[in-house]
Structure 1
Amino acid sequence: MAKQKDFMRPLSDAEIEKRIKAWADVTMLSLELKHAAMRKRHPELEEDELRELMRKELSMLKIKQDER
């Protein structure tokens, strides 16, 4: 029962800020990893082309998620 009460308690502004920053860090690392994988998969592409390809792939993923 104590765990449930902890789960239900409101978050402080500092805790919210901490979680947002952690989420942003994870998101940025994920994008950097994706970019590195794309660079390895398509070494012939320029940076602009890699970014465009990433945008297209991420857009397609978003569309697939929205369909669910």
Structure 2
Amino acid sequence: MSEEEPVDKKPEIEEACKPHCSNEWAEYRACVKRIENDTTGEAHCTGQYLDFWRCVDHCAAKRIFQTLK
């Protein structure tokens, strides 16, 4: 049996999925731009940020599970 360390493919797979989620990323960046001058500290883009990562996770999930042994 091989003594090699397992390689985590998740970061690589997530990077490959990011272009697939360009609409969600654009919405997040637009939100950041909109609130950059907020002086109240109450505005945030958490929803858009989470939408982007939800898209990435959805894309990556199938690929990640295919790499498991």
Normalising by structure 2, what TM-score?
0.33
Bigger relative CO (Cα 8 Å, ≥ 6 apart): 2
Instruction: Calculate the TM-score normalised by the size of structure 1.
Output: 0.33
Structure of larger gyration radius: 1
User: Greater share of helix residues, 1 or 2?
Assistant: 1
